[in-house]
Amino acid sequence: MNRNDKTLIASPYSSYQKWRDEKPVWWSDGDLKGWVLSRYDDVRTVMKDAKTFSSKSMGEMESQTVTLPLLTDDPPRH
């Protein structure tokens, strides 16, 4: 995903719909690297299972000092 993509900026909701229909879970190599989940039920599943879907390992970000936003922090801190 590239946040500066002109198609995404011009019509974000059609992009979101296309993701839900064609690739509900995918890896983004754009300016925001990471997994993208575009369906509500998938997001709920991931958010409820911190053991399987931990934010503890942040890949490239591990070498940086990063404080995770509360939404992405794992229990018991969240």
Task: Decide if 28 is inside a domain.
Answer: yes
**Residue 11 falls within a domain, yes or no?**
yes
Q: Is 5 part of any domain?
A: yes
Domain assignment present for 68: no
Is position 48 within any domain? no
In a domain, 65, yes or no: no
Residue 16, domain member (yes or no): yes
User: Cβ of 53: how many Cβ atoms within 10 Å?
Assistant: 13
- Give the list of residues 6+ apart from residue 42 with CB closer than 8 angstroms, or none: 24, 25
Domain-located, residue 24: yes
Number of compact structural domains in the chain:
1
pLDDT in tens, 27-78: 988 887 888 899 999 999 998 888 888 766 655 555 455 565 666 666 776 5
Instruction: Give the pTM.
Output: 0.58
Domain range enclosing 13: 1-38
